[in-house]
Amino acid sequence: MSTQSGQPGTIFSPALAARFDKLVTLYPVKRSALVPMLLYAQDEVGYLSDPVIAEVAQRIGITELDVRNVISYYSLLRTKPAGKYNVQVCTNISCMLRGGNEILEHCKKKLGIPNKGVTPDGLFSLEEVECIGACSWAPAAQVNYDFHENLTPEKIDGVLAGYKAANRGTGK
């Protein structure tokens, strides 16, 4: 069942495929490699597409349904393409008490997209999420893997502008 890296048919880069080959050997049961594998795959592909799900299921030896069950459990994992910068705004208790909902509303207006929307240029996407573990610095938001804390509408404007600029900087 083990998939050789670089084998014809893998949809991942050779480096990632090789990493996956190793990953499944690290745990007493292959299944334990599922969540890390999904995270890496999402980073590389952008989201967990049907082919990603199929290959991950096959590599671990479980059904695609099993993979989907796990994906749907975690808000971090997504099955639709997100923007280049995925803005996740927390509205759970601590953040809600300190204005998380306002931050979310502000982002919607600013980006011109609803919750779970993607801007037409594909640069930003927006998501309302449950607690991201930054309660001490609520309200908080997460953009890709970066945390932004103690937010105010002005502050989040700066954050968004920063990503826009960074994107221009990459020349894309």
* Degrees, nearest 5: CA angle 98-100-112: 150
Whose Cβ is closer to other proteins: residue 9's or residue 169's? 9
Task: Enumerate the β-bridge partners of residue 128.
Answer: 89
Whose Cβ is closer to other proteins: residue 62's or residue 135's? 62
Q: How far is the CB of 165 from other proteins (least distance, A)?
A: 37
Whose Cβ is closer to other proteins: residue 7's or residue 69's? 69
Q: Which 92-121 positions form the footprint of ligand FES (CB under 6 A)?
A: 92-95
Residue 69 binding: pick among ligand FES, other proteins, none (C-beta 5-8 Å cut-off by kind):
other proteins
Told to check if 140 binds ligand FES by CB under 6 A, we report yes
Q: How far is the CB of 58 from other proteins (least distance, A)?
A: 15
Identify residue 75 by its one-letter amino acid code.
S
Question: Going by C-beta distance under 8 Å and a sequence separation of 6 or more, which residues neighbour residue 96?
Answer: 139
| DSSP state, residue 85 | E
In angstroms, rounded to a whole number, what is the distance separating the alpha carbons of residues 162 and 15? Answer: 31
Residues that bind ligand FES (CB under 6 A): 90, 92-95, 131-135, 138, 140
